[in-house]
């Protein structure tokens, strides 16, 4: 039992570190769709807390294996639920809102602040929700658009707006 708890704790910590490194270095993301409780963050939290709490209870109490497993399971579920509702779901909601707000800019006007040359990116500034934002942009017709020109946003591709001069 002691070995199992230690292995689960080490696996949880290792999994958390590995997903953090691989996610940042290689840009890997886990899209759990309708099941955010299956995200790498929640899985790592559950396994780490279950193993760590079980290991601590095993060494600091005189309890048998079954009560230790039950308490460790309840603790892991509780901590994982807290992380789900306080971290994961708010982050998913923020990402979803961000994506919708960018797509909501299609058809709006903006101003070029860094010239957009043919087949190259420039920069535009636009207003959304009373705030000014800037973003990379490219011409829809691969034509040069000078700084200061008014443009209409036609589309958004991978964080870059596609614009046409008005």
SS3 of 34-90: the string is CCHHHCHHHHHHHHHHHHHHHHHHHHHCCCCHHHHHHHHHHHHHHHHHHHHHHHHHH
Mean pLDDT throughout 6-19?
82
Assess whether 99 and 143 both reside in one domain.
no
Assess whether 98 and 116 both reside in one domain.
no
Based on DSSP, count helices (H) and strands (E) in the chain, helices before strands. Answer: 4, 5
> What residues form DSSP beta bridges with 54?
none
Assess whether 75 and 135 both reside in one domain.
no
Q: How many domains does the chain have?
A: 2
Assess whether 70 and 134 both reside in one domain.
no
Choosing from 88, 103, 118, the residue where a domain stops is 103
Per-residue pLDDT tens digits for 146-162: 999 999 999 988 788 99
CATH of the domain at 123: 2.40.50.140
Assess whether 58 and 138 both reside in one domain.
no
Task: Tell me what pLDDT residue 23 has.
Answer: 63
Choosing from 81, 103, 125, the residue where a domain stops is 103
Per-residue pLDDT tens digits for 43-66: 889 999 999 999 999 989 999 989
What distance, in Å, lies between the first and last C-alpha atoms of the chain? Answer: 71
Choosing from 71, 103, 135, the residue where a domain stops is 103
Assess whether 13 and 72 both reside in one domain.
yes
Assess whether 63 and 134 both reside in one domain.
no
Assess whether 94 and 28 both reside in one domain.
yes
Domain carrying residue 9: 2-103
Q: What is the pTM assigned to this prediction?
A: 0.51
Assess whether 131 and 57 both reside in one domain.
no
């Amino acid at each position: 039992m002691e070995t199992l708890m230690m292995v689960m704790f080490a696996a949880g910590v290792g999994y958390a570190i590995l997903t953090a490194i691989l996610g940042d270095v290689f840009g890997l993301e886990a899209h759990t769709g309708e099941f955010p409780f299956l995200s790498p963050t929640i899985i790592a939290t559950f396994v780490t807390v279950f193993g760590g709490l079980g290991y601590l209870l095993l060494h600091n109490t005189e309890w048998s294996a079954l009560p230790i497993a039950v308490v460790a399971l309840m603790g892991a579920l509780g901590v994982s639920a807290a992380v789900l509702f306080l971290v994961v779901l708010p982050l998913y909601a923020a990402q979803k809102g961000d994506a919708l707000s960018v797509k909501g800019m299609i058809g709006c006007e903006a101003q070029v602040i860094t010239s957009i040359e043919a087949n190259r990116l420039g920069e535009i500034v636009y207003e959304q929700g009373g705030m000014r934002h800037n973003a990379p942009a490219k011409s829809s017709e691969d034509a040069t658009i000078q700084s200061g020109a008014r443009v209409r946003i036609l589309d958004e591709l991978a964080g870059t707006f596609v614009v046409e001069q008005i």
